[in-house]
Structure 1
Amino acid sequence: MRIGIIADSACDLPGDFIERESITILPVTVQIGQAVLADVRNEEATMNFLSGETGARAFEAETTPFTVQQVHDLFLGRLIHDYDYVFCITTTRTRSGIHDNAVQASYTILNEYRSVRSAAGNNTPFALRVIDSQNVFAGVGVPVIEATRMRAAGESPPKIRAHLEHLAGNTHAYMVPPDLNYLRNRIKKRGDKSVSFLSATLGTALDIKPILHCNKGETGPVGKVKGFAAASKKLFDFTGERVAAGLLTPTVNLCYGGSLDEMRTLPGYQQLREVCADRKVEVFESFMGLSGLVNVGKGALVVAFAAPPHKFG
């Protein structure tokens, strides 16, 4: 059986991995003023787009996920010919409309695919499952990586589906944002009041960096540390402890809103790599996608993994 895997472009994964595993990306369109770019996970295009005046206004960005019709057309135009079963793994529905759009499109796709496949001489069934990752950024990448592992191992679609749905509730993404004022302006633009003006101002003045946690579609602070480097080290050290305690998948997924070489110089990074190597846990690293960058700002660090319930600290 030919199994396909789809993710939206807010899913942070290395470009060579996406290409090697033939993962289809559903683009998110980002508009800042009159400038518009479809996020297809191109680092050079992203950085060019966020340069100059456009970059200074990034917190004003409007993001638009693939519409129901666009998802429908993608499947009927190509994917139902290339695959027999497709997993579409999306950013949490609490933060993006792509999940609901994909679900709505799936209803018409499953009603219409037979005639399209039959016209191409293929009368075998086609199935589609939309999975809410219940996470963001690098957190979306964790179940995508696991889906590729299970596909390569020859696992059946029902087994893959059950495992991905279990992982969705047990995937954790932790983020250190570099600029609280930017984050406050952005979430205010989105109608979220979780970072007040006072806390943003004091945090910036004192160089306090929060550590944010996303799990089961909910995001909130779990710690605060003075200085970005110190906060990054605390996050890397904590991740190493989780790796040593045992993960649910052999994967740690990192993304960074800047040069990966810069991320690799952060304190605690090398120690985390050593712990992962000792435990045979594979580390994935990618440049944060455009939709992530406009939401949290340049220089953000995100670490994601699947693990049993735990507390940060």
Structure 2
Amino acid sequence: MKVQIITDSSADLPSNFIERYNIQVVPLAIQFGSDTYLDQVEISNHLFYQKLHENDQLPKTSRPSPLAFKEAFLKGVEKGPVLCITLSSGLSGTYESALLAKKMLNQEIEVIDSLNASIGTGLQVIKACQMAEEGLTLKEIRQEIISYRNNMKTYFTLDTLENIIKGGRLSSWEGAIGQVLNIKPVLYNQADGTIGTLEKVRGRKKSLRRLLELVEATGKDFSECTIGITHARAQEEVSELVEELNNNLRPKEIIVSELGPVIGTHTGFGTILLAL
């Protein structure tokens, strides 16, 4: 029986991949004031960014319950062994919820901590689906995904400091100085699945150029490499990045998606993330 792939809504998978591989997506929750929405079930990216623009306070995000994962796992095991890939444990308790759900069931289920976020998790999910289509076993897919995960590089830049100030990750004083100096942080995914600051660049164009330089500096064989890009309402700039990547590095494939509510809450409008 074919391995069934499950993930959570933070993976920011394009809908065509979800449909093509019949991926089960367990939603996180987004709370604006007293109103709570299940990500991609009760709130779309469009509505989320509309509300984010209209509200002075940041929404809150919360992980799926173990019971939500249990329900997804029970559906999955009807068709085959289950592999679940979640948002980084360094950013959320989602992985813990999935592990608790696994312990509730005596079934062939594996849970992988992506140690990544957004399309960084999404690329792992897509690769797992491709291997499942090829008929690899649960054990084989798990081993390959862990190896792939451990060799991934993820870089992103913010266009605004507003959300990390509101979220308490940056003081209002530091944020004010950063905004005056037009500082655009370049961040990266650390080995433990947390986020680190790589550089602080002055100006948007320089920060986007730096992303391209970092991708090239990985030294990967781009003819065999898939690059994932996700963004928060920055389609025009992403189109330019895609053109440059295709012209200069010629990757095997570039997958573009929109940054959803889970990560978009903390990073804000204009965020662009590249994973490979």
The two structures have a TM-score, normalised by structure 2, of 0.91
Give yes or no for contact 2:26–2:68 (8 Å, CA) kept in 1.
Answer: no
Maintained 8 Å contact 1:41/1:289? no
- CA–CA distance in 2 between the matches of 1:160 and 1:248? 22
Moved more, 57-66 or 296-305: 57-66
Contact 2:227 2:254 in 1 (8 A): yes
2:162–2:268 contact (8 Å) kept in structure 1: no
| Residue of 200, 204, 207 corresponding to 1:231 | 207
Percent pairwise identity: 25
Number of corresponding residues: 275
Q: Distance in 1 between matches of 2:57 and 2:248?
A: 36
Task: Extract unaligned runs of 5+ from structure 2.
Answer: none
1:287 to 258, 263, 271: 258
Determine the C-alpha separation between the residues in 1 that align with 2:57 and 2:254: 30
- In structure 1, the residue matched to 2:101 is 105
Q: 4+ runs of 1 displaced by more than 4 Å?
A: none
Structure 1 unmatched runs, 5+: 111-125, 306-313
Are the counterparts in 2 of residues 27 and 40 from structure 1 also a CA contact under 8 Å?
yes
**Any residues of structure 2 matched to 1:57-136 within 5 Å, and which?**
57=55, 60-76=58-74, 78-81=75-78, 83-110=79-106, 126-136=107-117
Q: After TM superposition, give the deviation of residue 262 of structure 1 in Å.
A: 4.5
- In the other structure, the counterpart of 1:300 is 271
User: Is the aligned partner of 1:258 residue 2:233?
Assistant: yes
Shift of 1:284: 0.4
Residues in 2 aligned to 1:109 and 1:130: alpha-carbon distance in whole angstroms: 13
Structure 1 residues 248 and 107, CA gap change in structure 2 (3 angstroms): farther
1:7 and 1:23 in contact (8 A); partners too: yes
Give the C-alpha shift of residue 169 in structure 1: 2.4
- Following superposition, the deviation at residue 49 of structure 1 comes to 3.4
In structure 2, the partner of 1:115 is none
Aligned-residue CA RMSD in angstroms? 2.3
Q: Say if 2:163 and 2:265, in contact at 8 Å, map to a contact too.
A: no
Change (3 A) 1:249 1:132: farther
Deviation at 1:259, TM superposition (A): 4.9
Show CA shifts across 1:120-147 (max 9, x none).
xxxxxx4110000001112111211221
Deviation, structure 1 residue 248: 11
The structure with more radius of gyration: 1
Which residue of structure 1 aligns with residue 161 of structure 2? Answer: 180
